[in-house]
Structure 1
Amino acid sequence: MSNREFIYTYSGHRDEYDLCRMEMRSFFGFDVLSNVLKSTIEIDPSRSPFMKERLEVIYEGESFEQIADLVEQLDLDHATFKVVCLNDSELGSMKKVGHSKRREIERNIGLRIKGEPDLEQPETVFGVVMIDNKWYFGKLEVSEPIWLHHQQKPHMYSTALNTRVARAVANIAVPHPNGVRAIDPCCGIGTVLVEALSMGIDIVGRDINRRVVLGSRKNIAHFGLEGNVTTGPISEIEDNYDVAIIDMPYNLFTHITVEEQLDIVKQARRFTKKVVIVTIDTMDHMVEEAGFEIIDRCEARKGTFSRQVLVCK
């Protein structure tokens, strides 16, 4: 939590709109219907597969002239900088600002800053944006699509989650990683593990299938990450965890029965008080029978194929 204010801009496919909003709720405690969100909570924008940028607000004003006057207070002591106008797309109720107008805004702001402009490799990138007829200026952090680099794994199978969904699910399960221990007890080839480990989440993996465990370990190592993945049934887990992530095995790959699905959820209840379940089947009755309550849910679609994401406590 911080007294500073941050502005986050978002971009995503309509099929993942609900998943994006669920991730928002996990990070910030609320969601928004638009593609811009303001909060005092600081999140690395590269964690989310949906965030475009994060602006740490330094100044805000009712007019561009007011912002420009405030920016004159900045003295970077010859450090290099660049200014970017974020109104390159619709933000909330604000229409997109044209290219030439954005360049004019950037030049006008840049001329007020005491420092050395550098458009190629600046030490600091500043952003300026108009949202709901109010102007904001601050330090800009652009999201890096790390999840995109994880798409080409040495070991893959077609029914695994895509990396965008896996990354969002990891964030939904562990939005604030400090002090949180997580487990993926049906980890498969490690799609969720790779995303979670790349964000510094303390997570271990497990799977009953020795072959996919070996694939998971190789995938983790391929991206220069370190993680513990063991072989064995969920019934043999003895440690306790703050949260479990379960991408429920289903018939296309494992031929799992309804009874086995129920047992997985019941077993999870032994070692965690919170579980995030990804499933193609409706499992509300199983969740309830296992002693969990669904506190949030969404549907992640890809064309005609859909998965449910359930947050249970």
Structure 2
Amino acid sequence: MLKDGNNLNQLTPTGDFIYTYAYTGDEESLCHLEMRSFFEKDTKAKILKSSIEINPNRSPFMKERIQVIFEGDELSDILKQVEDVNMLDSTFKVIFVKINDLAATEKVEYKQKREIEREIGLIIEGEADVHQPDITFGLVPFEGRWYFGKYLKNEAVWLHHLKKPREYSTALSTRVARAVANIAVPNPEGVKAIDPCCGIGTVLVEALSMGIDIVGRDINPLVVLGSRENIAHFGLSGDVDLGPIAEVTSSYDATIIDMPYNLFTHATPGEQLFILKHARPFSKKLVVVTIETIDHMIEEAGFDIIDRCVAKKGLFSREILVCQ
């Protein structure tokens, strides 16, 4: 063991990240569309490697992320490299990441995982703390190589948004709403977004909680008040205006429209087309959530559908269309 090795701040990450995922069969299509929005690719496996950095807390489907510091063809390569890690005054923990659908050649049994964690922990210079470590490291085999780095677990932020002061039975679930916000705005930096038919504000809450610059709007004064109350309830700040989509005058990089279909605000086919046509002048990108097939309306309004998915919940399903 090298007593004079590099401390954590001196170790240079490779620039790659490993992400792991968990989703149900009903959520698979939606999760893959969110993946493509973040990484411009998706995977049937529930593990993905990319040079793009995403905080796992953003996604309702990401389980965890490893910021890669070391990699090698064999576990022995990792063991050799961690000899240079000196934690100084910081405590640490090592986690062998659990992936259920790894290739058979990469599967490691539970007992062996724990032994590998202990072996790495004994090599790293510093104090291990399995309960409240300052730094957690993750280790995972993937596509014939081993990866080791800083580990970050998804804290499931959206779970805190399940209970709202104002709710609709037909509103999007927090998981779907969060994914839709990510699909519309995968990188929030410098992006202005709008939800011009925001309803009770489910998408607004998720978007604002991720730092997305988004405003809301609706023609129903009751839901506008409810949306404002929901946003304030979670300590967030965002504007929600009362008025029709036809009165929007600013331009936006991304527009999210969950087509109204509940008891309070149901849009007829003519009204749906009206909404889409009025969204065209101010929208660079449009994400539409619909329970009906409206491809012809999208095209008539002047948009092109560039990607899509189906979000299911039992027998009920919604289409999510990405348009430009």
Same fold (TM over 0.5): yes
1:58-81 CA-partner distances (Å, limit 9, x unpaired) = 111111112111111111213210
Q: Deviation at 1:136? A: 0.9
Matched residue, 2:150: 139
Aligned mates of 1:312, 1:86 — CA distance in 2 = 36
Which one of the candidate residues 176, 183, 190 is aligned to 2:201? 190
Would the alpha carbon gap of residues 18 and 128 (structure 1) be closer, same or farther in structure 2, given more than 3 Å must change? same
Aligned mates of 1:277, 1:24 — CA distance in 2 = 17
Aligned mates of 1:276, 1:108 — CA distance in 2 = 48
1:24-78 CA-partner distances (Å, limit 9, x unpaired) = 1100111111101000000000000000010011111111112111111111213
Give yes or no for the alignment of 1:276 onto 2:287.
yes
Q: Deviation at 1:253? A: 4.3
Give yes or no for the alignment of 1:5 onto 2:11.
no
Amino acid at match of 2:121: G
Give yes or no for the alignment of 1:248 onto 2:245.
no
Matched residue, 2:186: 175
8 Å Cα contact 1:8/1:51 also seen in 2? yes
- After TM superposition, the structure 1 = structure 2 runs for residues 15-164 of structure 1, keeping only pairs within 5 Å, are 15-87=26-98, 89-91=100-102, 96-164=107-175
Would the alpha carbon gap of residues 131 and 93 (structure 1) be closer, same or farther in structure 2, given more than 3 Å must change? farther
Aligned mates of 1:94, 1:248 — CA distance in 2 = 47
Deviation beyond 6 Å, 4+ runs, structure 1? none
Aligned mates of 1:93, 1:238 — CA distance in 2 = 56
- After TM superposition, the structure 1 = structure 2 runs for residues 292-303 of structure 1, keeping only pairs within 5 Å, are 292-303=303-314
Bigger mean CA offset, 41-50 vs 122-131: 122-131
Give yes or no for the alignment of 1:218 onto 2:229.
yes
Alignment RMSD:
1.4
Q: Deviation at 1:120? A: 1.4
Secondary structure at the counterpart of residue 71 of structure 2:
strand
8 Å Cα contact 2:14/2:68 also seen in 1? no
Secondary structure at the counterpart of residue 60 of structure 2:
coil
Aligned mates of 2:32, 2:257 — CA distance in 1 = 20
1:229-261 CA-partner distances (Å, limit 9, x unpaired) = 011111111111111000001255423211000
8 Å Cα contact 2:170/2:262 also seen in 1? no
8 Å Cα contact 2:88/2:125 also seen in 1? yes
Would the alpha carbon gap of residues 65 and 204 (structure 1) be closer, same or farther in structure 2, given more than 3 Å must change? same
Secondary structure at the counterpart of residue 165 of structure 1:
helix
Aligned mates of 2:35, 2:267 — CA distance in 1 = 32
Which one of the candidate residues 253, 259, 272 is aligned to 2:270? 259
Runs (5+) with no aligned partner, structure 1:
none
Q: Deviation at 1:91? A: 3.2
Matched residue, 1:310: 321
Q: Deviation at 1:132? A: 2.6
Give yes or no for the alignment of 1:206 onto 2:217.
yes
1:114-160 CA-partner distances (Å, limit 9, x unpaired) = 11111111111000111233211100000110111111111001110
Aligned mates of 1:20, 1:256 — CA distance in 2 = 28
Give yes or no for the alignment of 1:230 onto 2:241.
yes
Runs (5+) with no aligned partner, structure 2:
1-12
State the aligned residue count. 312
Matched residue, 2:8: none
Aligned mates of 2:225, 2:15 — CA distance in 1 = 44
TM-score calculated relative to the size of structure 2:
0.93
Q: Deviation at 1:89? A: 2.8
Q: Percent identity at matched positions?
A: 62
8 Å Cα contact 1:78/1:114 also seen in 2? no
Secondary structure at the counterpart of residue 158 of structure 2:
helix
Q: Deviation at 1:174? A: 0.1
